[in-house]
Homo-oligomer: A and B are copies of this chain.
Amino acid sequence: MAPPFTQLLLLLQLLLITLFTLTSSSPHHQHRGGHPLDSITPSEFAQVRSIILSSRLASNHHHHHHNLTFQYVGLDPPPKPTLLSWLSSSPTSSLPPRRAFAIIRFDKQTFEITIDLSTNTIVFDQLYNGPEYPLFTGEEQAEATLLPLSYPPFLESLRKRGLKVEEVVCVTYSVGWFGGRAKAKREMKALCFYLNGTVNLYVRPLEGITVVVDLDVMEISRYYDRITVPVPKADGTEFRTFNVEPPFGPNVNGVTIVQPDGPGFVMDGHIIRWANWNFHLGFDVRAGVIISLASIFDVQKQEFRRVLYKAYVSELFVPYMDPTEEWYYKTFFDAGEFGFGLCTLPLEPLRDCPANAVFIDAFYAGQDGKPLQIPNALCVFERYAGDVMWRHTETGIPGQFIREVRPEVTLVVRMVSTVGNYDYIIDWEFKQSGSIVAKVGLSGILEVKGTAYTHTDKINEEAFGTLIAENTLGIYHDHFLSYHIDLDIDGEANSFVKNKLVTKRVKDNSSLRKSYWTVEKVTARTESEANIKVGTEAAELVVVNPNKKTKLGNPIGYRLIPRSPPASSLLSDDDYPQIRGAFTKYDLWVTPYNNSEKWVAGLYADQSRGDDTIATWSERDREIENKDIVLWYTVGFHHVPSQEDFPVMPTLSGGFELRPTNFFEANPVLNSRVPMPVNWPNCTSPHK
């Protein structure tokens, strides 16, 4: 919810996010020619910067370039028909035009710029004059968080409380939108925390102090010191291995994953080939990891078949449930405001990902447009958890004991986005049996509220949360991750079908049974027929290709199975955060593919007013039958904090499975063979 960019500038040099030197050769540097869906490369970021800084736009103004900030730079992917046509053409055919899309702030205005990287030209630019604003940069947030530390009223507030400024760290928060019609300034709120004995800053809020920063002039525009509550104590908040105090525990023996022959997947540029899967791996500063062009090899048909055109986290909406002055606005759009990719931080080998993982760097444009590198931003590994892919024991045949078991090995792409306090572990898991499983693990630190209460018995007013430590309320909130899922099941033209399970009565005494259930297939003709709160009725949710059938005549499809309890929004429809995060009204929406509909809560999320959300797009109630359709599924969590979530929260998981349903003619892994056994090497005869 809160951004992690305090002192980011310092960090840049200091520790991990290294300025990418364009002359260096990276092992992950893309192969010659590249792929049209490859993320913008470091040299391309530099090219975008150069084109924009030397453009009419920048040169026409009497300002220095440092007033021009890059709020977003990313790939403007080729139109889907263009890309599909390229894919179906010969391998040597020329690449589609390669374009970048940038949103810049210049002279307190927002500009959208599309650049053709092949021709080195701006092909489109326009002033965006709406009341909403683009993503924050890390740098401007870092700058904003320093302002309070030299702001006399804030220093006075610290003095009153007896706190040392050198132990204070501030964090920036988006301000939201609450019904005003006038265009508001581009502001953030800075809230401050007290270290003094801990590094777990989020659990020690200076509750009651709110600093409002005008980002365009980088000045404090308003300041409130409304209430004073005790700063929660530092004891028991430390989480670093070498600083936690005994008693320790629990302990477990060492355990690791071993692949003596190395990982079984191949990376060809950003195409990953593993077992029967092929897909493209991308990264975007807003979305984070992007899976594209996932196809699966059909052993029976001896060909690759298309499953998924693109999938990514389109938005992550986190509204808090405390309407009081210091908290009402905490309704964050972690992708659209803070950049789910921008908050991606380096994975730790052997801990964030197992020993057999391969790590991949990611790049994005800094505020000045120069490329920045996130080392180890993604990892890819074969997952073996001791599970079973399929099995059967047959004891029914005289004289035979038949037991066939195929262990389950899957491929996982992982990233972790730490949006301030929370850590989101994002997994895309590919199963040989054809399933794609999206998982999210929630860990990190709760957004807590300082309070005078030290025991629930003393709470004599509505607290809006759980008392999770002394002077510490874990405020109720939601996490809503909207997944953009552009399935192309054996082609673009697909339909969304609810296979409703309906009870039938036996009426004619033809059976001793009185009832049974059967399947009624209801194809959604338009968008409004597709929206659902999952779980309110028994139904399978299937995307089919109505133009193709199995040899037996079944519609070829994939179905979506929740892996955690669905959770749609409980906010009132007319509440402002709900208008902005309208996608949370249903767990699932289906839209016809539209190149401009990428961000479920709008291209501009900061101070958005709900004018550009899936709810407004869907008002047209467009036809979705036998069309190129996109599913938008929300993995939601209503989070009632508990004491276990303090001071760092054990991972809570959710997700969904996309599972083939009459896509194959039969079990696609029937003819898979068990991987060769692996033995711990006998060191008297050296291995390898």
Contact = CB atoms under 8 A, between A and B. Distances in A.
A617 interface: no
B663 A397 contact: no
A353 to B, nearest CB: 6
A250 B572 contact: no
A386 B412 contact: yes
A561 interface: yes
A208 interface: no
A221 interface: no
Contacts of A676: 254
A255 B416 CA distance: 24
B678 A389 contact: no
Nearest to A668: B644
Interface string A626-648: 00000000000010101111111
A554 B511 contact: no
Given A399-B14, A476-B517, A503 B570 contact: yes
A443 interface: yes
- Give the oligomeric copy count: 2
A620 interface: no
A529 interface: no
Interface in A459-504: 462, 464, 466-470, 476, 499, 501-503
B382 A248 contact: no
Contacts of A348: 403, 405
Contact of A423 (B6, B321, B392, B646): B392
Contacts of A642: 554, 660-662
A555 to B, nearest CB: 9
B395 A4 contact: yes
B6 A395 contact: yes
Interface in A640-674: 640, 642-652, 659-674
A675 interface: yes
Tell me the dominant secondary structure on chain A's binding face.
loop
B416 A391 contact: yes
A242 to B, nearest CB: 10
Interface string A496-531: 000101110110001111111111000000000000
Interface string A169-203: 10100000011000000000000000100011100
Given A247-B302, A644-B663, A201 B394 contact: yes
A198 to B, nearest CB: 10
Interface residues of A, number: 206
Contacts of A564: 561-563
B514 A552 contact: no
A604 to B, nearest CB: 20
Interface string A380-401: 0111111111111111111111
Interface in A365-387: 381-387
B252 A643 contact: no
A124 interface: no
A89 to B, nearest CB: 27
Given A276-B249, A345-B403, A638 B570 contact: no
Interface string A192-235: 00010001110000000000000000000000000000000000
Contacts of A275: 249-252
Interface stretch (A49-57, A114-122, A574-582): A574-582
B513 A576 contact: yes
Contact of A540 (B396, B434, B517, B640): B640
Given A345-B393, A501-B570, 6 more contacts: A253-B264, A348-B405, A386-B412, A391-B425, A501-B638, A515-B575
20 contacts: A178-B513, A201-B396, A239-B392, A252-B432, A254-B261, A256-B258, A256-B678, A257-B386, A345-B395, A348-B403, A388-B425, A391-B444, A435-B650, A467-B554, A476-B516, A538-B567, A552-B643, A646-B666, A647-B670, A652-B659
4 nearest CB pairs, A to B? A456-B553, A253-B264, A385-B385, A354-B386
